[in-house]
Amino acid sequence: MSELLDKLNNKQREAVEYMDGPLLILAGAGSGKTRVLTYKIAYLLEQGIVKPWQILAITFTNKAAKEMKERVEALVGQVASDMWLGTFHSVCVRILKREIELLGYTRDFNIFDEIDKEKVIKEIMKKNNIDEKVYPVGLLKSEISKAKEVMKDEVQYQKDAMGDYRKEEIAKIYNMYQATLRKNNSIDFDDIIMLTVKLFLENPDRLMYYQDKFNYILVDEYQDTNKTQFLLISLLSSGTGNICVVGDESQSIYGFRGADISNILNFESEFPNAKIIKLEENYRSTKNILNAANEVIKNNKSKIDKELWTQNDDGEKLDYKTLNNEYEEVEFVVDKIDEVCRKQNQKYSDFAVLFRTNAQARVLEEVFMKSGTPYKLIGGIKFYARKEIKDIISYLKLIQNTNDNIALKRIINEPKRGIGDTALDKLDMLATESGISIFELIQNSNNLAGIRSAGNIMLFRDMMNDLIKLKDTMKVSELIKRVLKDSGYEDMLNSEGTKETEIRFDNLMEFIGVAMEFENENAENTLGDFLESIALVSDVDNLDESTEAVTLMTMHSAKGLEFENVFLVGMEEGLFPSKRSIEEDYDTEEERRLCYVAITRAKQHLYITNTKKRTLYGSTSYSIPSRFIDEIPETLLSAESLENKEGKKQNTTSSWLDSEYKRVETYISNRNRVNETVERKVRPNVGISVDSFLKNLAGTTVAPKPAASSAAQYKIGMEVKHKKFGVGIIENIEPEGDDFKLEIMFDGSGFKRLMANYTPLEILSDGE
């Protein structure tokens, strides 16, 4: 009998020992799922059930993969180093590095990040005179990503788009985008899994090879898989049937990225004879925190029957506080953190502040900075997206893959070499006509005849050729230093001598440190492997939990983490749950799952805050407490929280009155608009004069029914005319405070968002 099993509870032990086909481990928050996965792998190796290289273990972050590998090695030794363990993307890149030639690429392919992707799309639109206002780049990036998440390549997308003019135009851009990628011998992040699945579908012999190779497959965070990821593991596991997935449908929060909760809900039907084992004992949170999470999530319909329990103490009750505005909210958070640190001898790193949307981070940073409270913001400007880092990465990409025109265009005149856009456009045109890359074109000096900056281009070419010769003989960190020196980048920064350039130089030194760390952890140390590693990194991978600072992050980023004390800020309707999710039960359920995840990050104490009014996206509106607060039983709230909650109920009417008073007061500043507004909105509903209306609002205790917006006359699909933008179709209508936001696609001016009460529109025809 293995001594490994002695450290597990009965359910965990059952999950580790089960080996007879497909297994779903339903692991609730804090129930030890990572421990079970780790021990299961260790058990497979210790008992000699499989060889290390026959194990494929998939996680969702590089950080999780690294931690799991370290844990397994601590249990069974270095033998574990030969197993395949990584994220879906890193595992697929490893396969593509071996097999991608079957798909028409060469093995030295590069991976485009989101910045590269955007640059390519913009170039395509510019060359083809496509208006970004009509087809926003963000929309195109999203549409292409969504297509690839469901295995829809450009050919299939074009077929499905027939008959839909807008989709047909997007299909053309998608087609040109993929052609550009192939020309550059590059793939984007979304291609990685799609191309791996395509490889297996088109080459059954290669699929059979990997089916035989991976005798046991384990997948973490299974509730967050999308259809392409599901197809991948289904193909790989169909040989032996030995697949173990770990997940929790209550923590499925990435639907907006394509994650499909039905993968876990339908596991039994997709994998016949599957066994389900539930891990319901929570080791992380107090009873009060866990009970709050259970009470919230039980309101969802799409779930599997289970309920977390814990042997931990009851702990302190939850604190709930309503503040006047977002600044007071964050000031309360800062003061509370300082108070707890001072009185209870806790560290700043014991605290996390979780928020729903990145737009909330600005005020958080501003107040934390002014207070002097140390903090780290996860998800700010990404390190690898900084200009100086992108520049040097582009040098490395061109050294690795000389077909990468995007990398070349970025650095051929960075630092300045007198090679302007005109010369670069000429090179691009000549290369396209010749069917070769720009770098191949400039190898022949005769091709540069007539180009004014030909001499500078040849100097750049010769420098790059010298650097390319060093690729296979020099460590990556040393190669970066050589790039900085030979390219003139280091001299450029030194000559400027500003505070900003000092920061940029420090960032580059940090980048060299990243390369040195990579060299210490990887035996081969190739440039291609280094570029692959940084292309697959995420914000959470860079989270240093030893830093003595409060962590500020979105609720989505907090997945998989835990903290002694957690603040959930901005718990208001329209913010959390988000405005868009409220209209659909499916989306509201995902928001509730996100709330469940956020609550269960807390080990000892949970604080919930919201505001009476909030300014966000340039608009100020009065707030209503999130429905999720009402789903938490009052028996779990502190006495002070109950007083706050009761006071909020009593003040709901007066808050609305204050809001209405200020709104009408604004109208008075423009008499003509007030008169128009009174005739259209106030008198039909109240039947009194403006002065009487305001006086009554100031003194009444019962709120009259809010006036109907002029948007009531508008419908989706309605054809309207605007004096400036011309004729358009209303595509969507959304509430926005006391007004409504109209989303209109104008024939000549493209997509616009306009406020109903302040936009004169002529109705040309009825909508739906």
Q: What are the two backbone dihedrals, phi and then psi, of residue 615, each rounded to the nearest 5 degrees?
A: -100, 120
Pairing mode of beta strands 726-736, 719-722? antiparallel
Question: 24: how many CB neighbours lie within 10 A of its CB?
Answer: 22
Rounded (10°) angle between helices 387-400 and 489-496: 170
- Answer for the pair 282, 309: CB distance below 8 angstroms, yes or no: yes
* Annotated active-site residue in 113, 149, 191, 221: 221
Active-site residue (options: 141, 152, 461, 601): 601
Residue 745: closest CA among 766, 764, 726, 723: 726
Asked about 220 being catalytic, the answer comes back as: yes
CA distance 397 to 457: 18
Q: Are strands 319-323 and 602-611 parallel, antiparallel or unpaired?
A: parallel
CB-CB contact of 84 with 53 (8 Å)? yes
Among residues 14, 17, 34, 526, the one annotated as catalytic is 34
* CA-closest candidate to residue 550, choices 570, 539, 560, 564: 564
**Residue 422 annotated to the active site:** no
- The answer to whether residues 655 and 324 touch, using CB atoms and an 8 Å cutoff, is no
Instruction: Please confirm whether the linkage preceding 735 is cis (ω < 30° from 0).
Output: no
251 is catalytic: yes
Annotated catalytic residue: which of 154, 188, 190, 220? 220
Edge-to-edge strand ranges of the sheet holding 563-568: 319-323, 602-611, 563-568, 351-355, 550-554, 375-377
For residue 572, list its beta bridge partners. 625
Determine the Cα–Cα distance for residues 328 and 313; give it in Å rounded to an integer.
Answer: 32
- What is the spatial distance between Cα 344 and Cα 320, in angstroms, rounded to a whole number? 20
Choose the catalytic residue: 33, 303, 417, 593: 33
CB 132 within 8 A of CB 125: yes
Element (H, E) at 675: helix 671-677
Find the catalytic residue in 229, 251, 402, 609. 251
* Non-local CB neighbours of 563 within 8 Å, separated by 6+ positions: 350, 351, 352, 551, 601, 602, 603
Report residue 548 as tokens. Answer: 């003595």
As a whole number of angstroms, the distance between CA 134 and CA 152 comes to: 23
Q: At what angle do helices 499-521 and 476-486 cross, to 10 degrees?
A: 150
- 3-state SS of 282-309 is CCCCCHHHHHHHHHHHCCCCCCCCCCCE
In sequence order, which residues have a C-beta less than 8 Å from that of residue 724 and are 6 or more positions away?
Answer: 749
- Tokens 């994220």 — which residue? 87
Question: Is 601 known to be catalytic?
Answer: yes
Q: Is 221 an annotated catalytic residue?
A: yes
* Dihedral sign (CA 524, 530, 536, 537): positive
Q: Which helix (H) or strand (E) holds 616?
A: strand 613-616
Residues forming the active site: 33-34, 220-221, 251, 601
